[in-house]
Amino acid sequence: MELFLANILLVLGHLKILAATLTIATAIYLFYRSKHIYLIDFICYRPPDTHRVPTSSFIEHIERLGRFNSETVEFQTRVLERSGIGSESYFPTGIRKIPNDQTLSSAVEEVEMVLFSVAQSLFSKHQVDPKSIDILITNCSLVCPTPSLASMIINKFGLRSNVKSFNLSGMGCSAGLLSVSLAKDLLKVNDDSLALILSMESVCSNIYNGKVKSMLLANCLFRMGGAAVLLSNRKSDKRVAKYELKHLVRSHIGATDSYYKCVIQEPDKDGFTGINLSRSLTQVAGEALRVNVSTLAVLVLPYSEQIKYILAIVSRKIWPPARKKGTYVPDFTKAFEHFCIHSGGKSVIETVKEKLELREQDVEASKMTLYKFGNTSSASVWYSLSYLEAKGRVKRGDRVWQLAFGSGLKCNSAVWKSINKLDLKSPNVWSDWIHQYPVKVPDVMDH
């Protein structure tokens, strides 16, 4: 009897070990099975040529509106001339009317024009049945109607009743990468799924009509645009996907009041609402970049650069003379072949270039995106990547760093690796003009 009980205990012991082993093996299997996030494709919105607004037309328009005095017209003219934006960018219908149509109806019309177009183009290009979409994420900071933008897409394209839908608002120009982050997390726990991300900013209802100069800046920078992005965690999609997501790093420094308030929507003393862009914005963006890079560097830099970077940080903390020297900047060109910096404005791009000690060729895509399309907010990093693809510069195995800033203040980074040879004959938003670029952007543009 004792021997029998001993055998039973021995068997139970073995079963426990076997169960633990199976549990660990299953966890490892599920982890590795679901860790790959593929970017099948993305589409950037190309507005109709009828929506193109040259700088001279924009200046004439704000003069004829009768809402701005000579001082504010002159200020906006100076900003436009020095903005780095050319005469090929686009405005929605409501902004081109006199008087402006800034109603909710006009804003919804702009949203439908952009998001319906890019979603349909993506579905058609890859023969994707909208009912096969498992996760839907829309983002638009300044327009948040009821029903939501996500509901508008579900209604328009007939998505399934059990689609996991999310609408992000108020997240600023980094919302596109925030959406990628949310999609990544959802794809980690939902096997064999497709995620559709739709990113844009509505310009129509958010033109500022007051006199505060820091709030007039947004009038001069933001333009019409948007992007649709299709992500997957299905193994079968690896052979058709363009990129694989390698890293995504999010940083938020809004715990400090001055950082939190450097980009904020608020009314002025006369009751006009607008986006207030603080004078300290580029400085704060530089701080957010430093925080973000401190995490990203360890993930992407080769060991030689990591050692130099860590030694520099340690020496500044323990050796006072080292603090007098400039901060060591790692060579990120050893980690990435391509850079897609948020085209928020000429000063934003130049700040990143200076902080990271990048070359002119590294910021070309971002500068040309700003010149051609203006600040398209959360979609701008996709316009920059489209530029690089249209130029035929992205090769299999290349690594791409998308970097965006947003209100709050946030700095987000996405790292992609090209995993398949790109079809250079496949048209994108840049195709008709790419032979004209790059162009030299003057410090002060004639109009």
Backbone φ and ψ of 144, nearest 5° = -135, 75
Tell me whether residue 435 is one of the annotated catalytic residues: no
Nearest residue to 232 via CA among 76, 128, 108, 324 = 128
Looking at domain 37-239, which of 3.30.230.10, 3.40.190.10, 3.40.47.10, 2.40.50.140 is its CATH number?
A: 3.40.47.10
Q: To 10 degrees, what angle do helices 281-300 and 346-356 make? A: 40
What per-residue confidence (pLDDT) applies to 13?
61
Give the pLDDT of the chain (447 residues) as one tens digit per residue: 555 555 565 555 655 665 555 566 555 545 545 579 999 999 999 999 999 999 999 999 999 998 999 999 999 999 999 999 999 999 999 999 888 999 999 999 999 999 999 999 999 999 999 999 999 999 999 999 999 999 999 999 999 999 999 999 999 999 999 999 999 999 999 999 999 999 999 998 889 999 999 999 999 999 999 999 999 999 999 999 999 999 999 999 999 999 999 999 999 999 999 999 999 999 999 999 999 999 999 999 999 888 887 887 777 777 776 666 666 788 999 999 999 999 999 999 999 999 999 999 999 999 999 999 999 999 999 999 999 999 999 999 999 999 999 999 999 999 999 999 999 889 999 999 999 999 999 988 877
Catalytic one of 173, 204, 220, 262: 173
Catalytic one of 44, 338, 411, 428: 338
What per-residue confidence (pLDDT) applies to 137?
98
Looking at domain 243-318+325-419, which of 3.40.920.10, 3.40.50.2300, 3.30.70.1060, 3.40.47.10 is its CATH number?
A: 3.40.47.10
Catalytic one of 36, 204, 209, 342: 342
Task: For residue 316, give every residue at least 6 positions away whose Cβ sits within 8 Å of its Cβ, in sequence order, or none.
Answer: 322, 323, 327
What per-residue confidence (pLDDT) applies to 308?
82
Tell me whether residue 252 is one of the annotated catalytic residues: yes
Backbone φ and ψ of 195, nearest 5° = -120, 130
* Every domain range in the chain assigned CATH 3.40.47.10: 37-239, 243-318+325-419
Catalytic one of 190, 252, 420, 447: 252
Radius of gyration for the alpha carbons in the chain, expressed in angstroms and rounded: 25
Residue with tokens 């948020």: 342
Tell me whether residue 173 is one of the annotated catalytic residues: yes
Tell me whether residue 144 is one of the annotated catalytic residues: no
Prediction pTM value: 0.90
